[in-house]
Amino acid sequence: MSASPDQRAFEADVDKAAFRLGQLERRWHLLSIKWPFVYISITAKDGTEFDFRFECTDYPRTEPTGGPWDLQRDAVLAAERWPQGNGGRVSAVFRLDWEAGRALYHPCDRVSIRGHQNWLTEMPALIWRPADGIVQYLEQVHELLHSKDYLPRIHAAA
């Protein structure tokens, strides 16, 4: 069975230099594609890798939607393992009380942009741009995970 046009468009985007550069710089890496879901790990400033599941139906014309994912359980990541913020943008975007954790509260997300038409004028740089593709979404999440607001995870002593 051949890939759908939206899957072929996604695969073409991950073959582009911008996506490959992000992988080489260890900002993110593609884990797997189980269309219409794609699994990508994004690295935080403390070295923690957060796995994300993105639903990409009608890509790139329609924004992906997604959030932190537990690959072992094939479910939304447990609350205590989500990225934490210090009350700023990280806390605002990584909200378990929004869509039960299946979508980030972010202008680049398909689910979140619905009902937030004010974001089009308030945050135009964060609105999905089909020509930029998945790299735009990944760069924005990576930036949050490297911001001053991101609280590094506390690792238990060995």
| pLDDT tens digit sequence for 42-70 | 999 999 999 999 999 999 999 999 999 99
Known catalytic residue at 56: no
Looking at the predicted structure, is the pLDDT value of residue 1 above 80?
no
- Position 154 scores a pLDDT of 72
Q: Which of 90, 108, 134, 144 is catalytic?
A: 108
> In which band, very low, low, confident or very high, does the pLDDT at 155 lie, cut at 50, 70 and 90?
low
Taking the complete model, does pTM exceed 0.75, yes or no? yes
pLDDT at 5 over 60: yes
CATH top class, domain 5-151: alpha beta
Query: Is the bond preceding residue 68 a cis peptide, omega within 30 degrees?
Result: no
- For residues 143 and 118, give the distance between their C-alpha atoms in angstroms, rounded to a whole number: 22
H/E stretch holding 142 reads helix 134-144
> pLDDT (tens digit, 9 = 90+) per residue, 86-105?
999 999 999 999 999 999 99
